[in-house]
Structure 1
């Protein structure tokens, strides 16, 4: 080494290695060309690359429209056999985006996908059915292995689309004149292996997530805050299978977790919910094998657990370890067995095998406006002084319904006029619709059950804060019932329990907690086979009373 051309130790080692490799260069080159291990270095990362949207021209200034840049990154990722599309820190304004197979959308903690406030920046999802609208912010159709992850935010900018109008899909409205021309936050149609985790989703102009006809859906740790527009739902699952929702928090304005159509094999665990209009809402189709457990529901009106079915086949639902605080309802099942499109050749519909276990609830007198929803929501008369409602009619019955370890604290305040109500409208569309006619509210403060076969109440306790003139429980045309360990507050002006044309009931170990005029009033000539065995009835002035055609042979006290 000369002083004018010094070599470092590393340079010297490299220079010494070159002659040794030169003789073998021809053989190495031939091996590389013929080896399946080196068809191209690019293949080594196929399906595992990261595509930063900034590399495709996206700007996180909250002003630049980035739809094309973000879509280009997704399209490139898809064409390269998948990978991860990275949303880095910044506010990335955009319109409709399509997710594709094998693509993971990762939002870094300081990242925000911000929906454009302009309607012209959105389109209908290609291939998404138009029912309930198909204008959308993020969507995927018939895609496999798609994921949305990370601690960032997806903000629909939904307040920009508020015009005071909803979609008018409520009872009797049929969507006439409804506002459907606004984007949902996300729609996934006929996708398989859909995963969402950790993201914060907020301010949709319409529903937050619609998951339609999908299979193998896993949602973990997703947070939804959706209270800027009407019909601000949380999750909609329609005709989906093998769905698992866990560890998530939903605060919304409309249905928090609706399951419509034929959903099967669904679990919902360890979640919290709050909304104006219902949490778990079911209707239509053939829904089977659904389990909800370890969930907290608070400040929820319009009935937290609600099944409204005309012609449907629903079975094998369990609801366990659920706390409800400040709700109305709290449980409503309505079933008519008929619909406008009645198919005489179809299998007779049913609702059966529904289990409620370990439920604690406090029920308020009527719905209260949420302070963070900027528009008020009217209160229907049937929502006041609400109770658990099991309501079938005609030739149709709810079958095998059980309540075990269920304690409900009601606000009370029900009137004698409500208690005197005997003509109950035969409607099943919404639980509160049954009670709309004056005087509003149900005739019982704890539970009203009509047309039920195989009803079990075990360790059920009904109490109220203010005196209530209504019976605790009314059975109307209930058959094959078992009541064990029922404890309930009574009223000095009316009966604690009222059975109307009800038969084959075993009632054991009941407790009358406060004075009542009558423990059990039996009405109707069809009442029979009622046995009262044991219990503490001291606070009832009279054990049994028979009226409206019922005879003393209908019941016996042991």
Structure 2
């Protein structure tokens, strides 16, 4: 049968494919196989060459993924032998080979100062513990770590990248061995000097890409963590229990960027999460904190773009959220969904505009030369119970001094001189105070011009603020929305004092009045203030008192019927100062 041209063409294509295939097979049979066979014979004839090739390929494949067990380097882990050299040798070998995991197996490994290095993951097994030596001679300053606040340390890294500490084991500083009853003496009213040569637990200086995960850090002789001038820091699920010595901080950050802290539990003696200097782009979420002093503490520098959310704060004194700044550029800080139980403070913002260390602006080298400001700070979803005075923690083995100004505390916004705190908002905030404020506190008019620490604002005696809920001085752009202030014991102070506050909006305020207080709200030299929908929860002598040059104050709507008088006027104020529509 005669084939069509198309069939002829397809047949030629198939024939060509078959021919090509056969050609390749023939070529492989006649050329490649003898060549491959010759190479194979050569390899078989040289077993050493084959072994070397395999080892080289294997080493390349495992580069950066090897495990370096510190016991393989001679570590004993018996809780007595000093294993510093063995641990350091394992770290050195790991980083030299391109990185990998340094394994701390089960056991208690006594060490002095250890340097972590680039591309090293220090992994502590569940029963693995690094235990700080009790002998001061086993420690030294971290190479390249500045001296500020001491640089003697147990574990450190400087100018390194890609470091992690992880695993469910323990790093124990054995800090009780260094207790002398002294501290670093940087607190209020201190004479200077101090005990700086005891070891911190961990210091990172100018490191990038740090990961801390799951490990238990405890009993430092000084700060638990000092994380200084680092970037890309991720901290997840670690526990800190640091209450055996003075100045037992939890986290101490200075001028870091891109820091993310989540799912951590911190119980310490001093600042739980100090953010000094120019920390930027920081998030803290889903954490719990307890300490004698403060949780989130800021001082000086350019602290900007920081968000704290979903945190629990309990048994914390000396002010949980404390911003004590001199010459600074602080802005864009948010605190949301926070529960505080049994605290003093609970929020304090002090701003002096001065670079003098007496303002509490720690680390003078971080003070910017440009115009200073503290602005754009938001508090949202805060629930707090505030006690009248600090209480010693039963697991801190020494008494902690109670400063007079810590007692009968309130929310404080305090700027000095010609400086103003700007654009601060409180939304959905409910605080219950212990109360107990006296008439002497209520009568205070000469508030000290200091912003050094929250509690030194109210010294000398009588100590404490003239308000139980909020004292605000030199503030522009203040917003209170759905805020509720209550107290549990008899209270002679006003709930709120505005002193030189301008451009403020207060809406849906619910506030407990007192028959002992002169007024529930006191306005001093304040202007452009609107109260809308305010509810007075209990009888009061007066809802509001106006003093000085207060002007353009409006009270619109709400229920203040429980006040005997809606408004009283002090020196310098008149009925023209107020527009009352209730």
TM-score, normalised to structure 2's length? 0.90
Shift of 1:88: 0.2
The aligned runs of 1:96-135 (5 Å cut-off) are 96-135=113-152
Give the Cα–Cα distance (whole angstroms) in 1 for the partners of residues 55 and 116 of structure 2. 31
The aligned runs of 1:12-23 (5 Å cut-off) are none
- Aligned twin of 1:334: 350
- Aligned twin of 1:539: 562
Of 17, 25, 46, 2:63 maps to: 46
Give the Cα–Cα distance (whole angstroms) in 2 for the partners of residues 126 and 170 of structure 1. 28
Give the Cα–Cα distance (whole angstroms) in 1 for the partners of residues 335 and 502 of structure 2. 23
Tell me, which stretches of 5 or more residues in structure 2 are unaligned? 1-35, 358-363
Of 495, 503, 506, 2:530 maps to: 506
Give the Cα–Cα distance (whole angstroms) in 1 for the partners of residues 404 and 190 of structure 2. 18
Shift of 1:24: 5.9
- Aligned twin of 2:293: 277
- Aligned twin of 1:25: 40
Shift of 1:26: 2.9
Give the Cα–Cα distance (whole angstroms) in 2 for the partners of residues 377 and 288 of structure 1. 32
1:225 correspondence with 2:249? no
Give the Cα–Cα distance (whole angstroms) in 1 for the partners of residues 312 and 421 of structure 2. 26
Give the Cα–Cα distance (whole angstroms) in 1 for the partners of residues 369 and 235 of structure 2. 34
Shift of 1:171: 2.3
TM-score, normalised to structure 1's length? 0.93
Shift of 1:338: 1.1
Give the Cα–Cα distance (whole angstroms) in 2 for the partners of residues 65 and 119 of structure 1. 13
Normalized per residue, which structure has more helix?
Answer: 2
- Aligned twin of 2:95: 78
- Aligned twin of 2:340: 324
- Aligned twin of 2:470: 447
Give the Cα–Cα distance (whole angstroms) in 1 for the partners of residues 580 and 351 of structure 2. 33
Shift of 1:23: 6.6
The aligned runs of 1:12-411 (5 Å cut-off) are 25-26=40-41, 39-173=56-190, 176-340=192-356, 346-411=369-434
1:343-397 deviations in Å (ceiling 9; x for gaps): 9993210000000000000000100000000101011110110000000011100
Shift of 1:41: 2.7
Give the Cα–Cα distance (whole angstroms) in 2 for the partners of residues 250 and 513 of structure 1. 37
- Aligned twin of 2:18: none
Flag the 1:382–1:147 CA change in 2: closer, same or farther, 3 A.
same
- Aligned twin of 1:9: none
1:422-474 deviations in Å (ceiling 9; x for gaps): 00001001011011211111100000000000000000000001111100000
Give the Cα–Cα distance (whole angstroms) in 2 for the partners of residues 56 and 137 of structure 1. 19
Equivalent residues of 2:410, 2:468 under 8 A apart: yes
Give the Cα–Cα distance (whole angstroms) in 2 for the partners of residues 535 and 508 of structure 1. 7
Which deviates the most, 341-350 or 313-322? 341-350
Shift of 1:39: 4.6
1:435 correspondence with 2:458? yes
Give the Cα–Cα distance (whole angstroms) in 2 for the partners of residues 340 and 498 of structure 1. 32
Give the Cα–Cα distance (whole angstroms) in 2 for the partners of residues 56 and 98 of structure 1. 16
Tell me, which stretches of 5 or more residues in structure 1 are unaligned? 1-20
SS at match of 1:445: strand
Give the Cα–Cα distance (whole angstroms) in 1 for the partners of residues 42 and 259 of structure 2. 55
Give the Cα–Cα distance (whole angstroms) in 1 for the partners of residues 414 and 325 of structure 2. 10
Number of corresponding residues: 535
In terms of Rg, which structure is larger?
2
